[in-house]
Amino acid sequence: MTYSFPCQDLSLAGLGKGMSKGDNTRSGLLWEVERLLDECNGNLPQILLMENVPQVIGKKNIKDFQEWRKKLEQLGYSNYVELLNSKDYKIPQNRNRCFMVSILGDYYYEFPKKQKLELRLKDMLETNVDEKYYLSQKAIDGFVAHNIKQDENGWHMKFEPYERERESSNTICSRNPTGATDNYIYDP
């Protein structure tokens, strides 16, 4: 069984409400997985695979995560946790995620070894892109104004388009796709 839960209350871009049991946060949906496993009446899945943002094991959330691991151990699972970045597995995107593999019984598991990145961002991009996917000058001017406001307020989320030659892209944001921190490519 694979599972995850909303990261908005865990991620750096979110409000940091956490994932405590009974707090009714979006990230607290983790505890619905507990309910599902309890309802299996002992007929549990052999393997569980969890994926989420690295902050799921961060300082603010580690206590809740440890509570979750303890629950899985009580059910008979052996748990293996690792932070993996897609760029370390031949994908030209800087996307760091926390994975937990839980195996029912006394088993040993090793996460895959890192692999050299051979492709670059430009290898993944289309060469002929419809004009509708290019930013208008008005949009660019808006982002430039946004950068000025960010500087004035000491904030760090700026519009900084990537060169096509860049090795990898950052994680794509799940919020409004017109944000200044999304993955824009500069194509002169």
**Which amino acids are annotated catalytic?**
7
Cα–Cα dist 9/53, whole Å = 10
Angle in degrees, CA 25, 173, 130, rounded to 5: 145
State which H helix or E strand residue 185 sits in: strand 185-186
User: In whole angstroms, how far apart are CA 108 and each of 43, 99, 104, 150, 176?
Assistant: 21, 15, 11, 48, 41
Nearest to 33 by CA among 14, 18, 17, 49: 49
State which H helix or E strand residue 74 sits in: helix 62-74
